[in-house]
Amino acid sequence: MWSSKHPPIFLRKVCYPIEDGGLGIRDLRSWNKALLAKTLRNIHMKKDSLWVRWVHQYYWSEVVDWRKRKDDTMLIHKLVEIHDELVLLFGSWKGVMLEMSHWFGGRHGLTEDYRCFIPGQGRWPWKPFLWKPHILPKHRFALLIFAHGKFLTKDRQPYVLEKECGFCRDVHESAHHLFFDCTVARQLWGRFWMWMGVQCSVGSSSGLLRLLRGRFRGTTLRSRRCQTGIAVLIYHIWSARNRAVFEDYRPDADAIFRKTLIHIHRSLYDD
């Protein structure tokens, strides 16, 4: 996913919690800051350990007065840096200690500490249906890229001169055209809604995601079929588009839809 010069989603955003639209991958720099903050609190609270008592005896008696010295170790330098960063973030050392009391007052203190150093962008509305266990990982991944609007279509590639759609070859390719306006995509969505037995006409990515979040948000068989089917169909539309662009493949709506149904049944009914 991030082996190219143009990753679909920035690594920083991928490190956001799942609730904020990321993958929950731990950012090591932020995790290191969280551990340093915990060490800083342990020193200030004078935990009963030989090393903490030695720090208080040799360096200083109050954490508030910490300053760098030339002969300090790298650990002390980092503790001073995290002290200054926390004071800048919360206004004063008193505010820092108050916040730390909330962090470490429960069972998940280090997790709360970590989230302070890697804030997300607020609750992501598509999380509840994106990480369903009945959706295969590759289909989940395609749905994640789709929900973020990060498929690398030709309109997002300034170095590509020929912008024609990989399917119809008539209109400039964009995510909206490829997944909703193109003739092949319209045929596929029409057949999918007919197979689902519902009257539906969705013409945008936000509308499709809202439909999943609202009408098909439950755990009934019908909802699971729709959740799985949308993820699978998005995956196969993008896969067929790539074959059309790079392998000169002529898109066949019947063949694409047949593959979609096979993958839906495998996802839902195969053990």
**DSSP string of 75-86, one letter each residue:** HHHHHHHHHHHH
Q: Are 188 and 256 in contact, with CB atoms under 8 Å apart?
A: yes
Compute the distance between CA of residue 163 and CA of residue 10 in angstroms, rounded to an integer: 24
Residue 72: per-residue pLDDT: 74
Q: At what angle do helices 74-90 and 93-103 cross, to 10 degrees?
A: 100
Residues 252 and 143 in one domain: yes
Residues 131 and 261 in one domain: yes
Instruction: HSE, CB side, 13 Å, CA atoms: give it for residue 189.
Output: 18
Residues 231 and 196 in one domain: yes
Residue 174: per-residue pLDDT: 92
Residue 5: per-residue pLDDT: 65
Please give the torsion angle defined by the CA atoms of residues 240, 167, 130 and 157, in that order, rounded to the nearest 10 degrees. 100
Whether 8 maps to a domain, the answer reads no
Domain termination site, one of 117, 142, 164: 117
Residues 49 and 70 in one domain: yes
Compute the distance between CA of residue 41 and CA of residue 72 in angstroms, rounded to an integer: 19
Whether 145 maps to a domain, the answer reads yes
Residues 70 and 139 in one domain: no
Residue entry with tokens 């994106």: 130
Residue entry with tokens 């588009």: 241
Residues 112 and 135 in one domain: no
Whether 138 maps to a domain, the answer reads yes
Instruction: HSE, CB side, 13 Å, CA atoms: give it for residue 100.
Output: 22
Residue 120: per-residue pLDDT: 65
Residues 184 and 226 in one domain: yes
Residue 83: per-residue pLDDT: 85
Whether 82 maps to a domain, the answer reads yes
Residue 243: per-residue pLDDT: 92
Residues 148 and 231 in one domain: yes
Domain termination site, one of 94, 117, 140: 117
- The amino acid present at 139, given as its one-letter code, is H
* pLDDT tens across the length of the chain (271 residues): 555 666 677 777 788 887 787 888 888 888 999 898 888 887 777 666 777 777 777 665 555 566 666 777 788 888 888 888 888 888 888 888 888 888 877 677 788 888 888 876 667 777 777 788 888 989 988 998 898 888 989 988 888 888 888 888 888 999 999 999 999 999 999 999 999 988 887 888 888 888 888 888 888 888 899 999 999 999 999 999 999 988 888 889 999 999 999 999 988 876 5
Residues 239 and 145 in one domain: yes
Domain termination site, one of 77, 96, 117: 117
Whether 58 maps to a domain, the answer reads yes
Residues 170 and 260 in one domain: yes
Whether 264 maps to a domain, the answer reads yes
pTM of the prediction? 0.77
Residues 73 and 205 in one domain: no
Residue 187: per-residue pLDDT: 93
Whether 37 maps to a domain, the answer reads yes
Domain hosting 57: range is: 28-117
Q: Which residues contact 150 (CB under 8 A, 6 or more apart)?
A: 8, 9
The structural domain count of the chain equals: 2
Compute the distance between CA of residue 242 and CA of residue 132 in angstroms, rounded to an integer: 26
Q: Are 118 and 15 in contact, with CB atoms under 8 Å apart?
A: yes
Compute the distance between CA of residue 170 and CA of residue 228 in angstroms, rounded to an integer: 31
Residues 103 and 131 in one domain: no
Cα-based distances in Å from 6 to 9, 12, 32, 150, 200: 9, 14, 27, 11, 35
Whether 199 maps to a domain, the answer reads yes
SS3 state of residue 37: helix
